[in-house]
Amino acid sequence: MKSKEVIDILDNFIPNPRCELNYTKDYELLIATLLSAQSTDKRVNEVTKILFSNYDIFSLSKASLDDIEKIIYPVGTYKRKAEYIKEVCQSLIDNYNGIVPNNREYLESLPGIGRKTTNVVLSLLYDVPTMPVDTHVARVSKRLNLVNINDDVNIIEEKLMKFFPKKSWNRVHHQLVLFGRYTCKSKNPQCLECPFQKKCKINEGK
């Protein structure tokens, strides 16, 4: 498939893609994305609803680990994530007056914040063209034959950035996430309603 074909199909199937994490402030997006590792957006939204209504960035940096852990427990690896949240909030306060900066190097240096989280945050807050690769993007890209089955997330990111025009990256990223979350699911993909059915590796030869 050519990139235009993939983009046209995605635009038709998912015309209004958006991030499904709830946030109203820049640091809330950063924390919600941090919490989403090995969890679901639905679960993250449930805990951040409580977390962000009880704390702002300043009180979070000073909150006890115990209190944060009790709230974020449902997202998993909550002990480590509670530590990350406190450290991230304190660092933002110390270095950027509590603002999440448009600074990739700094963001990637924060505890619990990797390349994927940085990509998500920069694209949503500053409209920086990025191609964050999560489990959905990786799976869908492999099934659609856009990348090789054994490619790791860094290679997948590189290949997708080469394949799709830069101006489409942010939109395509959200579309691939939503497509993987609701249609091309890991188990039990909804192939009968899939617009890529004839192009898909899984259905090759059928």
**202 belongs to the binding site for ligand SF4 (CB under 6 A):** yes
**183 belongs to the binding site for ligand SF4 (CB under 6 A):** yes
Select the residue interacting with ligand SF4 from 7, 128, 153, 191 (CB under 6 A): 191
Catalytic residue (one of 26, 41, 86, 116)? 116
Select the residue interacting with ligand SF4 from 81, 197, 205, 206 (CB under 6 A): 197
Residue 73 identity? Y
Task: Clarify whether 94 is annotated catalytic.
Answer: no
CA–CA distance, 192 with 198 (Å, rounded to integer): 11
Task: Give the shortest CB-159-to-ligand SF4 separation in angstroms.
Answer: 17
Residue 30 identity? L
CA–CA distance, 101 with 106 (Å, rounded to integer): 8
Mapped onto helix, strand or coil, the DSSP state of residue 13 is: helix
- With respect to ligand SF4, which residue has the nearer C-beta, 9 or 29? 9
* Residue pointed to by tokens 């680990």: 65
157-196: buried (b, 16+ CB within 10 Å) or exposed (e) per residue?
A: bebbeebbeeebbbbbbbbbbbbbbebbeeeebeeeebeb
Catalytic residue (one of 134, 142, 167, 206)? 134
- With respect to ligand SF4, which residue has the nearer C-beta, 128 or 200? 200
- Residue pair 172/4 in contact by the 8 Å Cβ criterion: no
Select the residue interacting with ligand SF4 from 38, 54, 109, 190 (CB under 6 A): 190
**186 belongs to the binding site for ligand SF4 (CB under 6 A):** no
**189 belongs to the binding site for ligand SF4 (CB under 6 A):** yes
Enumerate the active-site residues: 116, 134
